[in-house]
Structure 1
Amino acid sequence: MVSGFRALVAAWTLVLGALIATPAAAGVLQCVPYARQISGIELYGNAQTWWGQAAGRYDRGNEPRVGAVLAFSASRAMPVGHVAMVSQVVSDREVLLTHANWSYRGGIERDVRAVDVSPNNDWTDVRVWYGPIGGLGTRSNPAKGFIYPHQAPASDKVQIAMASASDGAAAGRAF
């Protein structure tokens, strides 16, 4: 009986030692890598730096568009800011967001409601769905605006299509 108890204590010591040796943040999904993955916007660093980094690299604005990333400012509640991708535009004052690490540590939330409550209708003050209360959060969050992913203008798409077609025709003639 004593040796069985010692084996059990030894096993628990190994398990607890492994848990203690693992950093608390290991494996926790953060908003930045998730937003980068789902939006294709190639920015790095804390979320609070995305707005500034996007200047000259990506179009930015205050109009919600599907695929755009809403860049939240740093605040007391969010010292490193937050980023979330627009998955649907409901109206000019309401969108659905897909993001990570908001309501639940490391959790992903898809198509959650966000409402522009800014006095100038410019998405600089936003209330976002918060899972633990089952509704919009009790506070608003400061935001910079939207960062838009790169998209080739329609005229560029036509030129690319025409070039591909002429390359295919030339390749067909070579045989």
Structure 2
Amino acid sequence: MGHLSSRLVWLAAAVSTVSMPAGAKSLLDYVGECVPFARAASGIQIYGDAWTWWDAAEGKYRRGDTPKVGAVVVFRKSPRLHLGHVAVISRVVTPRVVMVTHANWSRQNGERGHAEQDVTLTDVSPEKDWSEVKVWYRDMDGLGSTVYPVYGFIYGMPDKTAGRAVTRAHAAPELSGNDPDYVGALIDAYR
């Protein structure tokens, strides 16, 4: 009976609805770390430091190197990102330019942690495989100069090889704005 009850607890957790991060009236009011924000924005229920999400997704969610709306992009640990970073794809502009919605990247009003919607993320990897990116940075009012290593994308679709039922994740309705600046994203990416 213990095995059955643990499976029922797991199933209940898997089908629970996605909630807003603590202290936020809406997704975009959130101030805090990127991980709880990405969990709420994507519906992907993974826990732990951002850089650990890639391995944690194995057997639970599909992973790949193609950006799709609602997918979580997982940044590797690096000298500038000691815990990695996670962001949610809000728009695909071109095969090498997307927009993300994330938290705890740029400073706003002198503090980190705020949510940002439809931020430009550009693939700068030599193989065009999204293994290295540059991110728009509010403090510079443009694309940052730092290249960040990336594992890839975690999709909200269950990994069918896992051999168990996993609920499909659903992205939050506030993931993207009504009028994202595609032209600005392209200018940022290619300037």
Same fold (TM over 0.5): yes
**Counterpart residue number, 2:156:** 149
Distance 2:87 2:159 in 1: 23
Q: TM-score, normalised by structure 2?
A: 0.64
C-alpha RMSD of the superposition: 1.7
Residue 116 of structure 2 corresponds to residue 113 of structure 1: no
Q: Structure 2 residue aligned with 1:55, among 50, 53, 58?
A: 58
State the identity as a percent.
51
Residue 44 of structure 2 corresponds to residue 41 of structure 1: yes
Higher helix share goes to which structure? 1
Distance 1:152 1:114 in 2: 26
Q: Structure 2 residue aligned with 1:98, among 101, 104, 119?
A: 101
**Counterpart residue number, 1:10:** none
Give the letter aligned to residue 126 of structure 2.
P
**SS of residue paired to 2:157:** coil
Give the letter aligned to residue 78 of structure 2.
S
Gaps of 5+ in 1: 1-26, 154-175
Give the letter aligned to residue 116 of structure 1.
D
Say how many residue pairs are matched: 127
**Counterpart residue number, 1:21:** none
**SS of residue paired to 1:71:** strand
How much does 1:138 deviate?
A: 1.3
Gaps of 5+ in 2: 1-29, 161-191
**Counterpart residue number, 2:71:** 68
Contact 2:78 2:84 in 1 (8 A): yes
Give runs of ≥4 in structure 1 deviating > 6 Å.
Answer: none
CA-to-aligned-CA distance 1:99-129 (integer Å, 9 cap, x gap): 0000121111100101000011111100000
Q: Identify the structure with bigger relative contact order (alpha carbons < 8 Å, sequence gap 6+).
A: 2
Larger of the two Rg values belongs to structure? 1
Q: TM-score, normalised by structure 1?
A: 0.70
Distance 2:145 2:57 in 1: 30
**SS of residue paired to 2:139:** helix
How much does 1:144 deviate?
A: 0.4
